[in-house]
Structure formats: C-alpha cells, structure tokens
Chains A and B, each alone.
Chain A
C-alpha cells in the first residue's frame, strides 16, 4: 500500500476521533456551575444561584459550534478518503479506505440529522 494511502486513512481516523471528542464536548453542560473547576467551591456552597438551563441562550448555541465543527471534521475525513480512492484503488487501498470513508460518511450524515433536529426544535429565549 502506498504511504500516502496509509497516511490518509490514518489521518481520517484521527479526524473522526477528534470530531467525536468535539461532539461529546458539545453535549457537556456549559453551565458554569457544573464546571469541574468549581468542584471545590461547590463542595462548600452546594446551592447554585439560578443555574442556567441548557435551553438558555447562548447555552443552546455553544454546543452547536462544537457539533458543526465535528461535522466539518467528519466531512473532511470523507472527502479525503474518497479523493484518495480516486488516486489509489488497488485492492488493499480499497479495503482500507472504503470502510473509513463509509464510517466517516455515516457520521457526517448523523451529525447533519442532529443539527437539523436541533434547528427545528423550538428556540429558547
């Protein structure tokens, strides 16, 4: 297998992992009170002052940035693999690249669906 092919496949996997990380980050509550940084403080004062709900702006949109950028990562991975398949399509290259490309495409599709669902949900505030 060409070095280039192996590299692109590996890099695409890396992008998918990074995208997954971003997506998780997108799901973490962005409320200051649940931040780990305030753990010590929370131990002392367990009652937060009117915590922001996940639907309060901009909490509703901050995760969106993460999710969209995760989508950029997975579509980048898809495109890179497809482009590489055009350049190298010996049997081994196809065996390695095609599954990664398919996975990346599925992830991209699911991200798009999730984003559309979020956009359709009633906007907070």
Chain B
C-alpha cells in the first residue's frame, strides 16, 4: 500500500466487520448511561451538610461552613495523604470518620454509665442511629453528650495533629490554629454523623453502615451481603459464558495461515525522525522520576516500619510522611505517563512510515519542557502546601489541592491536561496523512481516538472541587483514579501493544483490531459502571453499591481473557520469529509484556477481586490489602508496560555497541522479583492480618497506630527490605543507565537518521522507517480470517 500521489487518496476499507463498531458503540453508550445515572444519584442522595448543628440545650456545636472549611483544611494540610476520610486516602494515620465515630461513641456511652451498662449502650446506639436532621430548617440536633464529645475531641485533634514533637508521621506542629482544629473536628464529626445516622426512611446509614462499629450498631446491610453474592455469581457466570462462547467460535481467526517470512531489521538500521530522537530525553526523565518515586517509597515505608526515628535523623521536620507519600503517589502517575506519552510519539513515524511534518520535533521538545514544568512545579507546590507556607486559594491552585491522586494544585492539573492536548496535537500532525487514507474503524484511527480520550477523561478530574460535598468530590475524583487509569489507560495500552506487534510484523492487523474491539466491549460493560466499586461506602445510595458490586465483577473477565489473548499474541510472535532469518530484536521488551500479562492477572484480577466484593471492602477498605493490590496492579501492569516501551524505544536509540541485553535482563528479573517479594512477604500477609483484625476487633482498631506499629507488623515491614533493594538497585538503576546512554547518543548525534534523499518525505512512504521486511507472502485464507463471528465449523 504505497501512496505515491498526494492527491486525495482512497480510504482503506474497514478490516473487520461493521458489527464490531456498532456493538462497541452500543455497549460504550450503555456503560456511559450507567455512569451518568450514578452521577444523578450522587447529586440527589449524598448526605446533606447541615447549615448548623445545635445541641439539645441550644448551643451551636458547629456549622455547615465549618464542615466545608474543615474539608479544605483536611486537603490543604495533606491529611488525605496521612489518614483517610470515609475510608479513602492514606493508611498510616487513622480513618478520621471511623476515629471520630468510635471516640465520640465511647465518650457518649461513658457519660450514660459506660461499659457495664446495657442501657448506656442502647441509648448510645439510639442517639447515633436516629437521624435528627431537619431538611426544612437545615438544622441537625445532637444530644448534650454528643456536644460534649465534640469539645473533647477538638482537644484530642489539637493535641495529635499539632504535636510539637512530630513522630506521628506529620510534621511537628502541623495544625495549630484553633479555628482550623475546630473546622477539622467539624468535618470529622459530620462524616461520622453520616456514617451512623440512618438515611430518611431507611434502616441503614448514609454510608451503608460503614464503618463497622459495634458501639453504634454499625453492621453490614442486607444490600452489602446480597450484592456480594450476586457479584460472585456475576464473575463466575460471566467468565464461564465468555469462555464457552470463545471455545465455540473461532472469534479471532487463528487459522489465517500467514506464510510470509519476515526479516527483522537490525534496530540501528531503522531511521529515526527528530521527534523520535526527542523521546530519548523523555525516557531519561521517566527513569529518573521512577528512581525518585521508589526512593520516596522506601522513606514512606520506613515511617511504617519505625515511626519513631529515621536512623536518628528527624526526617519528619523536612519530609513528613504525608509529603513523602504525596510525592510517591504523584510520581507513580507521572513517570508512567511520561513513558506512555513518549511511546506514543515514538510510534507515530513507525505507523505512518513518513518523516516528521515541519516543527514536529520542536513541539515534542516543547511537550517535554511543559511536562518538566508541571512535575517540578507541582511537587514543589505540594511541599510548600504541606509545610503550611501557602494558604487558601493559593494553596489550592499552586500548592496542595490535596485529593489523593489529584494532590497537585489546580494550575498544574490544568497544565497537565493541556500538555496531554498538545501531545494529541503532536500525534495528529504525525498521523494526519495516514488518517486521511484510512477507515475510521481501522488501527490508525483507533490509536488516535484512544489517545484523544486520555486528556478528555483526565480533564473530568477538574470537576473535583475542594468546596463540594465529599460524596460529589469522590464521584469526580474517581473519573481519574478509576475511569482514566483502569479503563482508558488500559484501552490505550491495548491499542499500543497491538500496534507494536502489528508493526513488528508478528500479528495481522485484522486480528489486532478484533482484540481492540473486544477490549472496548468488555471494558465498557464492566469497567465503566464498575467505577462504583470505589463508592460503596462514601455516601452514595445503596443502588450505587449494587451497580458497583455487580458490574465491577465483569471488569475481571477482560483481564483474564485479554491476558490469554496477549499471550497468544506473543505465541504467534514466537512462530513468526522462528521463520525469520534475522534475530528478533525485542527480546526484553516482549518479556516485559509477558510480565504485564502475569501481573494483570494476579495484581489486578486476583488481588483486585479479593477486595472487590462489597462485604470484603466493608472491612478492608483503606488497609494493607488495598496497598497490595495497588502496587501489584499499578506497578505490575502500567509500570512494567512503561518499562517495556522504554526498552523497545531505547533499542533503536542506544548505539549497538553500548546496548546491553544483559542489563535489561537484570532489570527485568529484579523488578519482577522485587515486586513479588513486596507482595508475598509484606503486603499480602499484613493485609490478611489487618483484615482479620478488622472483622475481629473492629475497623477503628485495625487502623489504629497501636495495631499498625505492633511487633508482628514491624517484623513483616522490615522483611521487605531485601526485595526493595533488589527492585531499586537491580531494577531501576539499569534503566536509568540505559536511558542515559540513549540521551547521550542523541546529543552526540549518534543515531541513524532518515537521510536518503530519494526516500520519503512527509507525503510518502519511507522504507527506512520500516521495522521489518516481508520476503514472501501468500495468504490463502485471508478472506475468511478474523473479524466475523464465524462458527469454527464453517470456516
């Protein structure tokens, strides 16, 4: 397919059946409809914030303005990266909802006669469960005992959050302003009220009775249990059905006999465009950020293993736990995104086999500059915010916005979105000519659409406003934390990986397309509505819990399924390799993809589902099992993938004599062994213990420092050390080194360029840019291969 004439070319035909597009769109629209429906529910049924909370004797305890200001103080001081609210946030500090609820209930019970008295217990339950909020006046009435508990707890939070010694994980004197303490206490008190008080006309609280707390009779609701059972059934039934169908029909058409022979080009003979060379610096930035992220991770881990000292250095004065964790979490997104952005730019000339349009390299360097500004600016802002140097709106815009995963100031958030838009523009300029000549359902367009979705969905995170009701903020926050990360990034990934295989000549474009459409269908069915698995207990109504529990089960199916698909890709690749006379140059890049498949299954699929049932999440949310899942899924899937992309691109960028397959081998094994060690030795057993403790002794207790810093836990936390060392020294450092070599080669101009003037331009095919050559090609089954739901018997 060579486009020799620049006049309007004929569009290539769609390679798969139209049914795929129509089916994909239909399911996507249904998924979106479910999401919008849940959005309505969020706005209608979130727990109200009373205008004023008064005691029975008539004094005002706190106001709605205090609650909102308290949420701002909570976020602005980085407390969501220390402890959590409604179960969401960091896991070192307490869950402030559960903490306030437990402490105030204890206080109230004591004032009615305490532990031994049944009537005191009963009265406490009644006071907390009865909803005395009056909608018409916006007034919530609390008992005098509850008001006294509030005063007492204000003093408690003033003491713990403003400790002059530090040693809590927060910086010394973190929150000392009495007004701020009052506002924070109001915020916690409101969340605890919503967690215990029954919804109007219901026999469970606004949070579906979360947290489990015997003092106020908070126990799993019927919905929590029933939808957990149905979720299990959905998983088993869904998987069975899919596999049955898949075994019955030969969807993907493996029987397409490709008898072509490939000759892989030696990477360094593949010409690189200027924009591709710019990617060398992206990968250098990526690996340096990766290194920084893992070092910060060790510091955060140290706080857990030994809160009292950092080898005698008062680390919490400069780098308190919440700052370390903020940076750790933000960098995890940033280095992975840097790798993905670069991979996108790098692939474009390989897809189009055309040279860069004018100014493309300049734009790419511009993107790198913008990215650097956002990374440095946002990290610095977070430090200033957590150190209390910025206030109010300034802090929110330039410093610490403070939502976990959306910690960065709004300005940086906007800039990051714009950066991604610039990235899409870069991709579009590169792809333009190719897009014009292809069907909208074929790979170049899907690649473009998947890329376009990234800034669009990330931008939804901008609707998370610090002054909104928490439940509403959580709705928008998870557009990024779930929808963007788990669905759209996963889609973009599938497209990229499929494309790489197509470009390498190991997979037919049609098969790759089928897999992508299947991915769209499966993710739209489970993943989109499945966002609600984060909303079981944050103030959403029970219907949202039901949808989340049921649909998120389907999210696991594509993981199982697409993993198997990815493996089949690789298997096909192996067959192709065996017929190539030249060695396959991407051994370690492909091994990273193999690892992605493994962790997708274990980290996302198994460890994700382990905490996914509402009844498990009820006791588990915000504990070490979440951490276990988060690390094995985020690092295992996206981290390994970003490394794989980097290794793929560096293979072209690093001079042959400097390239070391051995170093990549060390990196590959170290990252996988280190990650597995972290999970098997520490996070998984710790998580099981914490879950057990939560069911046994209560959630409040399982999240207390007493439990987290117990000897047993400290032992498990220390035992992970060797794995962390292997991960960082053996896994990350070789990547830093290799990407440094790549960047230096570009600086030295020691990279092959598209120089042959008789070849190609922006308008024409340049054979120098091709990754393989096809020697012989006859494909008798071509016409009946993949794409339609052909029953195997007929094919």
Chain A residues packing against B (C-beta within 8 Å) = 4, 7-8, 11, 15, 30-32, 35-41, 44-45, 49-50, 52, 56-59, 61-62, 65-66, 68-69, 72-73, 76, 79-80, 83-84, 87, 125
Nearest Cβ on chain A to B44's Cβ, whole angstroms: 44
B 566-603 binary contact with A (CB < 8 Å = 1; else 0): 01101111110110000110010011001100100000
Complex interface bits, B680-719 against A, C-beta within 8 A gives 1, otherwise 0: 1100010011000000000000000000000110010001
Residues of A within 8 A of B231 (CB): none
Q: Are B577 and A125 in contact (CB under 8 A)?
A: yes
Query: Using Cβ atoms and an 8 Å threshold, which residues of chain A touch B672?
Result: 65, 68-69
CA A49 to CA B574, docked complex, whole Å = 13
Asked if A38 and B247 make an inter-chain contact with CB atoms under 8 angstroms apart, the answer reads yes
A-B contact number at CB 8 A: 108
* Minimal Cβ-Cβ distance residue in A for B254: A32
Q: Which residue on chain A has the smallest CB distance to residue B564?
A: A37
Give the docked Cα–Cα distance between A61 and B669 (Å).
12
Q: Given the known inter-chain contacts A57-B577, A73-B680, please indicate yes or no for A7 contacting B689, CB distance below 8 A.
A: yes
- Known contacts A45-B792, A65-B595: A83-B571 contact under CB 8 Å: no
**Please, how many angstroms separate the alpha-carbon atoms of A68 and B254 in the complex?**
30
Query: Which one of A30, A44, A66, A83 lies within 8 Å of B793 (CB-CB)?
Result: A44
B611 at the interface (CB under 8 A from A): no
Nearest 10 pairs between A and B by C-beta?
Answer: A76-B680, A32-B571, A40-B247, A72-B676, A41-B792, A44-B792, A76-B681, A41-B250, A32-B568, A56-B574
Closest B residue, CB atoms, query A36: B247
Check B33 for interface membership: any CB of A closer than 8 A: no
Contacts of B254 in A (CB 8 A): 32, 38, 41
Q: Is B19 an interface residue (CB 8 A)?
A: no
The answer, yes or no, to whether B673 is at the interface (CB within 8 Å) is yes
Given contacts A32-B254, A52-B571, A58-B570, 15 further A-B contacts (CB under 8 A): A30-B567, A30-B571, A37-B246, A39-B247, A40-B248, A40-B792, A56-B574, A57-B587, A61-B594, A62-B567, A62-B594, A65-B595, A76-B677, A80-B685, A80-B719
> Interface on B for A, CB 8 Å cutoff?
243, 246-250, 254-255, 257, 564, 567-568, 570-575, 577-578, 583-584, 587, 590-591, 594-595, 598, 669, 672-673, 676-677, 680-681, 685, 688-689, 711-712, 715, 719, 792-793, 795
Complex contacts, B246 vs chain A, CB 8 Å: 37
Complex Cα–Cα for A66 and B254 (A): 26
* Residues in chain B near residue A72, CB distance under 8 A: 673, 676-677, 680
Contact A58 B591, CB 8 Å, known A38-B247, A45-B255, A52-B574: yes
Task: Give the interface centre of B243, B564, B568, B669 by most chain A CB atoms within 10 Å.
Answer: B568
Which of B243, B570, B574, B584 has most A Cβ within 10 Å? B574
Residues of A within 8 A of B247 (CB): 36-41
* Contact A73:B574 (CB < 8 A) given known A4-B712, A79-B719, A80-B719: no
Q: What are the residues of chain A within 8 A of B568 when measuring CB–CB?
A: 32, 35
- B575–A56 touching, CB < 8 Å: yes
Q: Hey, which chain B residues are within 8 Å of A37, CB to CB?
A: 243, 246-247, 564
Q: B406 CB to closest chain A CB, in angstroms?
A: 34
Nearest CB in chain B to that of A19: its residue: B680
Nearest CB in chain A: distance from B602 CB, A: 9
Contacts of A41 in B (CB 8 A): 247, 250, 254-255, 792
Chain B residues closer than 8 Å to A52, beta-carbon distance? 571, 574-575, 578
